[in-house]
């Protein structure tokens, strides 16, 4: 035991490679943590909101859902909303009442942009078409024009063969 104690005391006084590596590793870690903490202290820039006076409103009214999207004149999306995002489920998503709630929610998101005049483009055959347009007028949006852009096939795809029973 005396020999082991003396070798331990001798080794304790001598610097070893493993101890110097541990010291350098801790200094590297502390340097990294300083860099990370300094980047966290920087504040984010405020988001610049561009004022958009006139824009486009795209209404997609299908049998199952209604989606309203507000864009600027270049086509960049400013605000959007859908029946599912407003909490409607199942067959209630395609009702005119759901369309009015959707437009109200999208108009709330649109207020910081200052959009007043909209050109309305309606796509689809769902029951939320007229309800969404009426809701836009009720939410103080001036409707410049209404255009129906529902895709119509010019006898495109061949129909399925008739089922014989």
Token code pair at residue 100: 């009015």
Residue 129, number of CB atoms within 10 A of its CB: 22
Sheet holding 54-61, edge to edge: 77-82, 66-71, 54-61, 117-123, 142-148
Q: What CA–CA distances, in Å, run from 148 to 28, 57, 58?
A: 64, 12, 10
Residue with tokens 């610097």: 15
**Distance between terminal CA atoms of the chain?**
100
- For strands 142-148 and 117-123, give the pairing: parallel
Encode pLDDT of 53-107 as tens digits: 899 999 999 999 999 999 999 989 999 999 999 999 998 988 999 999 999 999 9
Q: Which listed CATH number (3.40.190.10, 3.30.420.80, 1.10.10.370, 3.30.70.380) goes with 58-148?
A: 3.30.420.80
Encode pLDDT of 95-150 as tens digits: 999 999 999 999 999 988 989 999 999 999 988 899 999 999 999 899 999 999 99
Query: What is the full DSSP assignment across 12-54?
Result: HHS--HHHHHHHHHHHHHHHHHHHHHHHHHSPPPPPPPPP-SE
CA distance linking residue 146 with residue 161, whole number of Å: 38
Q: What CA–CA distances, in Å, run from 49 to 54, 81, 111, 124, 152?
A: 15, 19, 11, 32, 38
Listed by start position, the domains of the chain span 58-148
What phi, psi does 93 have (nearest 5°)?
A: -70, -25
Q: The whole model's pTM is what?
A: 0.66
- Residue 53: the pLDDT is 84
């Amino acid at each position: 035991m005396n020999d082991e104690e003396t070798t331990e005391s001798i080794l304790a006084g001598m610097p070893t490679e493993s101890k110097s590596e541990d010291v350098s590793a801790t200094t590297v870690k502390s340097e990294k943590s300083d860099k990370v903490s300094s980047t966290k202290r920087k504040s984010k820039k405020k988001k610049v909101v561009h004022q958009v006076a006139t824009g486009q409103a795209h209404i997609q009214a299908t049998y199952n859902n209604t989606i309203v999207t507000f864009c600027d004149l270049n086509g960049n999306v400013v605000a959007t909303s859908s029946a599912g995002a407003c909490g409607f489920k199942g067959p209630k998503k395609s009702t005119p009442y759901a369309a009015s709630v959707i437009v109200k929610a999208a108009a709330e998101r649109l207020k910081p942009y200052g959009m007043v005049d909209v050109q309305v483009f309606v796509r689809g055959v769902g029951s939320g078409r007229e309800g969404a347009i009426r809701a836009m007028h009720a939410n103080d949006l001036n409707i410049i024009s209404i255009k129906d852009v529902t895709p119509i096939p010019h006898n495109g795809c061949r129909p399925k063969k008739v089922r014989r029973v």
